[in-house]
Amino acid sequence: MDKTSPLSPEIPSPAYICPFDQACSYLDAAGKELKLDQGLLEILSNPRKVVTVSMPVKRDNGEILVLAGHRVQHCDVLGPYKGGIRFHPAVTLREVSALAMLMTWKCALLGIPYGGAKGGIAINPKTYSTNELERISRRYISELIKDIGPSVDIPAPDMGTSAREMAWMMDTYSVNIGNAVPGVVTGKPLSIGGSLGREMATGRGVMIIVREALADKGKSLEGTRIAIQGFGNVGGAAAVLLHEAGAKIIAVSTGSGGVFAENGLDISEVKAYAKENNRKILGFPHAKPISNAELLTLPCDVLIPAALENQITEENVNQIQANLIVEAANGPVTLEANQALEARGVTVLPDILSNAGGVVVSYLEWVQGLSYLFWDEEKVNSEMESLMVKAYRKVIEQSQMRKISPRLAAYVLGVGRVAQALSDRGLYP
């Protein structure tokens, strides 16, 4: 794909940070470190398939809405494509392409036999009724029916989608194929072949990475001061599990703002408050209100950005006080900010490692579905934990051996495995 051509109707502002260019920069750096052949690098810089469908959908008032639905399949050299579907107003084809590429490296890094993909629709799901969201989800999957399937491309939830959307998508695919095909999506409800442990998986993976990184510094979770941006699927689960493990969660936030407590928040109380207040936590009575910008620069031991991309940038990087940043969201630290943090000796554990718990349990869900044998939650969690710890250890080992940052080490491992497979398979024809 031409990195400079406009892939979507967005009009970049001067402050615009292109996620696809960022993803290609990390790939280039890994390629350089691995001394990759230029031709291989060129193949890996381009998504294999980019699909944008025009989706007419009827609103509840009868009005017809035409939405653009994207699916980008980056590379399937290791196995079927795998990646989430995002419903968020900021979705663009460039962002989806970047996230698809990240999924390729993430799956390879974790040693799971998938290639990377991503999908998305630029909508704010909060402004649609449940019936409208069902029609959007079903139309999206029916438009893409020839491009997905349990051995082709397996979608999963991402921002703005959940088990509910996966159930509609699985049903739409199955009705069109003529039989139930649970393996077409992961992150499904348990009633139709979902896996125990999937809901908390990404947050649990984040907790495991924080725990391992602290242990390497001779510390434990007990009493460690942690700030978390985002209190959704990932940030919320990470907060619960880290709190249970003894960490002090001093601040959490949602899109409308956050809360701070010097001596740590009672996360179960914050959760209950969010449940009662339409997922907002601003106003939680036992803490001080705090903005998202303030949360990022709090004095703390660990900072976990678990909301959106491009949150730690050149603008605020000098105010960041944490010594360990664990990227729970995709791409929350920009390239420039990452360089500045590395220069200051701050450890940044990259998204393709830290938030991989979700895709690992998606893989375990797929394996259980294919083998018609379902595991208890303990087994799911322990299989996931062993893959996460193994990947973390390999990243640290590479980083020390090559004297490179953990981020570059993670890319070297992921890109290296895909490049090796590509060169072993050879080019057709």
DSSP-assigned beta bridge partners for residue 56: 66
Confirm or reject binding of residue 233 to ligand NAD (CB under 6 A): yes
Which is nearer to ligand NAD, 333 or 346 (by Cβ)? Answer: 333
Q: What is the number of other CB atoms lying within 10 angstroms of the CB of residue 223?
A: 11
Confirm or reject binding of residue 254 to ligand NAD (CB under 6 A): yes
Of residues 105, 231, 260, 284, which one binds ligand NAD by CB under 6 A? 231
Cα(247)–Cα(5) distance, rounded to whole angstroms?
46
Q: Fill in the per-residue mask, 179 to 218: x = in contact with ligand NAD (CB under 6 A), - = not in contact.
A: -----------------------x----------------
CB of 372 to ligand NAD, least distance (A): 25
Which is nearer to ligand NAD, 22 or 292 (by Cβ)? Answer: 292
Confirm or reject binding of residue 292 to ligand NAD (CB under 6 A): yes
For residues 312 and 320, is the Cβ–Cβ distance under 8 A? yes
Overall residue count recorded for the chain in this entry:
429
Confirm or reject binding of residue 83 to ligand NAD (CB under 6 A): no
DSSP 51-104: EEEEEEEE-TTS-EEEEEEEEEEEE-SSSSEEEEEEE-TT--HHHHHHHHHHHH
Which segment (132-140, 218-226, 241-249, 251-259) binds ligand NAD by CB under 6 A? Answer: 251-259
For residues 153 and 131, is the Cβ–Cβ distance under 8 A? no
Q: CA 107: distance to chain centroid? A: 12
Confirm or reject binding of residue 234 to ligand NAD (CB under 6 A): yes
CA dihedral 54, 56, 59, 63 (to 10 degrees): 110
Which is nearer to ligand NAD, 185 or 404 (by Cβ)? Answer: 185
Which segment (70-78, 133-141, 156-164, 335-343) binds ligand NAD by CB under 6 A? Answer: 156-164
Among candidate residues 82, 106, 118, 248, the one labeled active-site is: 118
At a CB cut-off of 8 Å and minimum separation 6, what does 261 contact?
A: 250, 251, 286, 287, 288
Of residues 104, 330, 334, 405, which one binds ligand NAD by CB under 6 A? 330
Q: Catalytic site residue 118?
A: yes
Type of residue at 68 = A
> Among 415, 420, 421, 422, which residue's Cα sits nearest to residue 30?
415
CB of 199 to ligand NAD, least distance (A): 9
Confirm or reject binding of residue 97 to ligand NAD (CB under 6 A): no
Residue 123, SS3?
coil
Confirm or reject binding of residue 137 to ligand NAD (CB under 6 A): no
Cα(199)–Cα(46) distance, rounded to whole angstroms?
32
Cα(148)–Cα(351) distance, rounded to whole angstroms?
25
For residues 201 and 360, is the Cβ–Cβ distance under 8 A? yes
Which is nearer to ligand NAD, 328 or 404 (by Cβ)? Answer: 328
Which is nearer to ligand NAD, 307 or 409 (by Cβ)? Answer: 307
Of residues 119, 183, 232, 350, which one binds ligand NAD by CB under 6 A? 232
CB of 425 to ligand NAD, least distance (A): 28
Which segment (59-67, 133-141, 231-239, 403-411) binds ligand NAD by CB under 6 A? Answer: 231-239
Confirm or reject binding of residue 253 to ligand NAD (CB under 6 A): yes
Confirm or reject binding of residue 358 to ligand NAD (CB under 6 A): yes
> Among 169, 202, 199, which residue's Cα sits nearest to residue 184?
169
CB of 230 to ligand NAD, least distance (A): 3
Cα(381)–Cα(377) distance, rounded to whole angstroms?
6
For residues 238 and 302, is the Cβ–Cβ distance under 8 A? no
Cα(265)–Cα(360) distance, rounded to whole angstroms?
29
Which segment (24-32, 265-273, 325-333, 411-419) binds ligand NAD by CB under 6 A? Answer: 325-333
For ligand NAD, the binding residues (CB under 6 A) are: 157-160, 202, 229-235, 253-255, 292, 306-308, 328-330, 355, 358
Active site residues: 118
